[in-house]
Amino acid sequence: AVGAIRHLLFVRHGQYDLDSEEHGLTELGRKQSERLAQRLVTDRLTPKKDRYGVIQVQYAGIWVSNVTRAIQTAQILAAHLPDVPLKEPDPLLAEGKPTQPHPSSSPSRLSDLWEDSVRMEAGFRKYVHREVDYKRLADKEKRRKKKEKELGDGFVPDGATIPEPKAEDATAEPKGKEPEHIYEIYVCHMNIIRYFVMRALQLPPEAWLRLRGDNTNITEIVVHPDGRVSLHRFGDIGHLPLDMVTFH
């Protein structure tokens, strides 16, 4: 299969002030975000080595929701990773309720569920996929063959010449070369992270509330070129000492 292995690092924002209208980061939330940033820098500087090979982490960008606490967290990460592009805030990554959880202690408003579920599913489809869109490639190839059949094998456009066959490039990359690894950082919210995990693993989305994740935790979903998806880690808070761990 063609394409890179995508490592999607979904990060929950730092602790935020529940009593303020803005819901911005608390002082502890900023310190948590600083710790997370230092962890990401260390991960990039230290090659990952095991029996399967060596991977040098390179971040392609930082994506973020349009919610204040997520934006503030992303800005702290970007300050420590100045060469990594910070993308425009995306409302598709904002917090919400993806579906009525099961089991549930209280019912949700159907209007809220409908709005949030459609938006969050759109976010999932936008961000969680293979690097190469094989469906689009197949459609393009289908159109090419159809046009070729309609024009005939001997058709050559006016002014065009038939190119000479090229000798195989001796410097071309070997077919057995290992695929590239791309790391992408997404600063968002726990409900959407839980939902993305359930969808990516093809598990019942209604079970999203059974998963828990603390502030600034890292969840890594890996998408392979052939479509295989795996959860490499969930709710990783190894960068925080116990006295800095919070859920709210």
pLDDT tens track for 128-140: 999 887 766 667 7
pLDDT attached to residue 2: 81
Burial 152-181 (b: 16+ CB within 10 A, else e): eeeeeeeeeeeeeeeeeeeeeeeeeeeeeb
Query: Above 70 in pLDDT, residue 166?
Result: no
Give the mean pLDDT of the chain. Answer: 88
Which pLDDT does position 163 carry in this prediction?
Answer: 57
Residue 116, φ and ψ in degrees, nearest 5: -65, -40
Q: Write the single-letter amino acid at 98.
A: P
DSSP string, 135-149: HHHHHHHHHHHHHHH
The Cα-based distances of 104 to 71, 77, 99 in angstroms read 30, 35, 11
What is the C-alpha radius of gyration for the chain, rounded to an integer number of angstroms? 22
